[in-house]
Amino acid sequence: RGVSFIKLVCVSSNMYKLIYFAFTLLVSSYAIKLPPELQEYVDELHKICIAQTGITDADHAAYDIVKNPHDPKLMCYMKCLMIEAKWMNSDGVIQYDFITDTIHPDVKDIIVTAINKCRSIPDGENLCQKASNFNFCLYGADPVNWYLI
């Protein structure tokens, strides 16, 4: 599938999942071979969020953050990714400390730098817009390493 948006090794399965999500949100230019279980998690996360939001793989592949950063079809997909990965809770609070505390050391500097530039984002009218605003901020903070899982 086309990949365009924000985990690696830690102690538990949930930590693996979170750290991989963080890794995939920001680090497309790194040529790191991911362990199969982490790739499976990202594929499953994508599958869950595609199903929950009703977007298609074609919608996902066509997403263009430069031309249409707040694509209505993708905003709730981004919310799903953030909630499933525990980057945002169900009340819309972005879990900055959780994100930075669980990042793999190899990518921590890149992700923490971007995240720190995105600590004050507009809430938007709903959680989908908030997730989209956060996504767009991450892109602005590091357009070279950003892509949508």
pLDDT at 37: 60
35-52 pLDDT per residue, tens: 566 677 778 999 999 999
Between CA 1 and CA 111, with CA 16 as vertex, the angle to 5 degrees is 75
Domain covering 13-141 assigned CATH 1.10.238.20 in the classification: yes
* Domain map (residue ranges) of the chain: 13-141
Give the residues across from 88 on adjacent strands: 94
Answer yes or no: pTM beyond 0.75. Answer: yes
Two tokens at 73? Answer: 């079809």
Closest to 70 measured CA to CA, from 125, 143, 119: 125
Q: For 146, list phi and psi in degrees, rounded to 5.
A: -80, 145
